[in-house]
A = this chain, B = another copy of it.
Amino acid sequence: MTQPSERIVRQFCEAWDRRDMPSILALMSDDIIYQNVPQPPFRGRQAAAAFLAPIVSKATAIEFKLLALSVAADGSSVLTEREDLLHFGSKVVKIPLMGIFVLRNGLIAEWRDYADGASVAAEFQRAGVSLAPAQHT
């Protein structure tokens, strides 16, 4: 049986696939802590949105490909292995990564992704996409 936490994370990934920023934000808690480890975290939905919205609006297609997903025994955390694909016209940024989602009250309260930062930066550069510098709060 699919647990509620798994359903929420799958809904979140599907919202990314639709580039549906309102749905993405609606699944985050107000006080979400979002981190691309080991970068400093973004604290709060607004800070996360300020970083993520430009990516979502620039991308012409997005796919959060779930390679593996498992739910912790107490149901509070969902661990994923993914390949995130961000299309910018004919260019594709491919990010192999793992991510953990900690759920509270049906919302994502913590989201940590682990990837090789230099490779991700090189992929964005190769695709000719410049991201605004992160404003950590």
**What's the interface size class on A, roughly?**
20 to 34
- Check if A48 is an interface residue, CB within 8 A of chain B: no
CA distance A116 to B78 in the complex (A): 21
Q: Evaluate contact between A100 and B73: CB separation under 8 angstroms.
A: no
CA distance A99 to B99 in the complex (A): 10
Question: Which residues of B sit under 8 angstroms from A97, Cβ to Cβ?
Answer: 114
Q: Evaluate contact between A77 and B72: CB separation under 8 angstroms.
A: no
Q: A10-18, A63-71, A129-137: which lies at the B interface?
A: A63-71
Q: Evaluate contact between B100 and A100: CB separation under 8 angstroms.
A: no
Beyond the given A38-B116, A79-B81, could you list 4 further A-B residue pairs with CB under 8 A, ordered by the A residue number? A70-B70, A71-B73, A79-B80, A97-B114
Closest-by-CB residue of B relative to A75 is: B70
- Check if A117 is an interface residue, CB within 8 A of chain B: yes
Q: Evaluate contact between A114 and B114: CB separation under 8 angstroms.
A: yes
Q: Can you offer 21 A-B residue contacts whose CB atoms are under 8 A?
A: A68-B72, A68-B100, A70-B70, A70-B71, A79-B81, A79-B98, A81-B98, A81-B112, A96-B114, A98-B98, A98-B99, A98-B100, A98-B114, A114-B114, A114-B115, A114-B116, A115-B116, A116-B116, A116-B118, A117-B118, A118-B118
